[in-house]
């Protein structure tokens, strides 16, 4: 099998490359932006900006992958408030370029399109945990772009009989994640406080939100099973099935440190809209793949904190 990971230099990409190399005999190619780095000898690396449609076509013709994991995105909800047009360009136009380039091929690779639990948005109390066939009511620009990607994926699958499996990924976390995301951000701040690099005050945003966190190492296992077993044209939630308040996450992180740390809300970290609860129902994923999380939340948080402690 030939697997191509588009957006391979990102957080999930690194773990996905390692997982395929360690657990599958597939050959792996991965794309990155010109300024990014993929340090792995067991992968063929290509520069690719998905906004350049002809570059996508040429690369796909050269590699002729059997499986395509489409991870490339502007992946931050926070950044999507600040840069909505970039988010729309990369997540919608970029995804159309990938799908349309695949349509032009004379073979039919299977594509895993990675969307987001954020697509559900304003979830009613009785709709939690949320199933794939629930109404979607996106609450921010990022969520809209991922909802669009999902709908466009379904159209390409139905109209052109393309082999597309769609995912709605809930929050995935772990060592090496960019500190623009909450767990990585809080762990980095605590590690810097412990090293005396900042005063003992942790800056936080909205602590009341509940989100569904899964270790990235479990998430990539779900992706590799779904690309083999997922039903074409279908969407699958990938999450833990449980939600936790950001306040609880903070409490766990702080409990691992002996420093006396004061918590301070930073208004800059509050979003214009932050939906209160996003929690997945993962029965469809379980039925299709038999997947279960292996790594408990506390371990992921501890690993992430230690990652930042070991960064010089």
What is d(CA 179, CA 188) in angstroms, rounded to the nearest whole number? 7
163 part of the interface to ligand GDD, by CB under 6 A: no
Alpha carbon 19 to its chain's center: 16
- Cβ pair 226, 165 in contact under 8 A: yes
**7: partner contacted, choices ligand GDD, ligand A2R, none (Cβ within 5-8 A by kind):** ligand A2R
CB of 230 to ligand A2R, least distance (A): 16
Nearer to ligand A2R, 170 or 191 (CB): 170
What would you measure as the largest C-alpha separation in the chain, in angstroms? 62
**165: partner contacted, choices ligand A2R, ligand GDD, none (Cβ within 5-8 A by kind):** none
**150: partner contacted, choices ligand GDD, ligand A2R, none (Cβ within 5-8 A by kind):** none
116 part of the interface to ligand A2R, by CB under 6 A: yes
How many beta carbons lie within 10 A of that of residue 17, not counting itself?
Answer: 24
83 part of the interface to ligand GDD, by CB under 6 A: no
Nearer to ligand GDD, 21 or 83 (CB): 83
Helix (H, G, I), strand (E, B) or coil at 108: coil
- Shortest-Cβ-distance residue relative to ligand A2R: 10
What is d(CA 196, CA 170) in angstroms, rounded to the nearest whole number? 34
Q: What is the 8-class DSSP label of residue 231?
A: P
Identify which of 86, 74, 96, 116 has the alpha carbon closest to the alpha carbon of residue 164: 96
What is d(CA 170, CA 239) in angstroms, rounded to the nearest whole number? 5
C-alpha distance across the termini of the chain, in Å:
39
Q: What is the 8-class DSSP label of residue 123?
A: -
181 part of the interface to ligand GDD, by CB under 6 A: yes
49 part of the interface to ligand A2R, by CB under 6 A: yes
Nearer to ligand GDD, 271 or 309 (CB): 271
Mark residues 59-98: x for contact with ligand A2R by CB under 6 A, - for none. ------------xxxxx--------------x---x----
Helices (H), the chain: 11-23, 53-63, 77-82, 84-88, 94-103, 141-160, 182-194, 216-229, 246-255, 283-289, 297-309
Mark residues 167-206: x for contact with ligand A2R by CB under 6 A, - for none. --x-------------------------------------
Nearer to ligand A2R, 7 or 65 (CB): 7
36 part of the interface to ligand A2R, by CB under 6 A: yes
How many residues sit close enough to ligand GDD to count as binding (CB under 6 A)? 24
138 part of the interface to ligand A2R, by CB under 6 A: no
Q: At what angle do helices 182-194 and 297-309 cross, to 10 degrees?
A: 50
- Residues of this chain that bind ligand GDD (CB under 6 A): 75, 77-78, 116-118, 169-171, 180-182, 185, 204-207, 209, 211, 246, 269, 271, 274, 278
Enumerate binding residues for ligand A2R (CB under 6 A). 7, 9-13, 33, 36, 48-51, 71-75, 90, 94, 114, 116, 169
């Amino acid at each position: 099998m030939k697997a191509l990971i588009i957006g391979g230099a990102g957080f999930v990409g690194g773990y996905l490359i390692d997982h395929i190399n360690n657990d599958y005999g597939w050959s792996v190619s991965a794309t990155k932006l010109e300024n990014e780095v993929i340090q792995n000898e067991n992968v063929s690396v290509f520069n690719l900006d998905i906004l350049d449609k002809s570059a996508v076509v040429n690369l796909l013709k050269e590699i002729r992958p059997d499986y395509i994991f489409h991870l490339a995105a502007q992946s931050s909800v926070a950044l999507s408030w600040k840069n909505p047009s970039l988010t729309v360009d990369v997540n919608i136009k970029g995804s159309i370029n990938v799908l349309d380039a695949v349509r032009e091929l004379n073979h039919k690779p299977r594509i895993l399109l990675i969307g987001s639990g954020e697509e559900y948005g304003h979830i009613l109390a009785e709709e939690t945990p949320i199933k794939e066939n629930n109404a979607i009511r996106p609450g921010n620009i990022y969520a809209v772009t991922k909802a669009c990607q999902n709908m466009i994926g379904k159209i390409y699958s139905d109209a052109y009989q393309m082999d597309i499996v769609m995912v709605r990924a809930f929050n995935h976390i772990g060592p090496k994640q960019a500190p623009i995301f909450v767990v990585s951000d809080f762990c980095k701040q605590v590690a810097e406080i412990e090293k005396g690099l900042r005063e003992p005050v942790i800056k936080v945003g909205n602590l009341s939100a509940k989100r569904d966190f899964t270790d990235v190492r479990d998430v990539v296992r779900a992706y590799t099973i779904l690309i083999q077993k997922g039903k074409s044209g279908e969407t699958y939630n990938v999450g833990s099935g449980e939600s936790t308040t950001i306040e609880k996450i903070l409490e766990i992180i702080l409990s691992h440190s002996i420093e006396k740390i004061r918590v301070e809300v930073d208004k800059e970290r509050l979003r214009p809209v932050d939906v209160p609860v996003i929690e997945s129902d993962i029965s469809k994923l379980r039925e299709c793949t038999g997947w279960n999380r292996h790594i408990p939340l506390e371990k992921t948080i501890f690993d992430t904190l230690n990652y930042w402690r070991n960064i010089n």
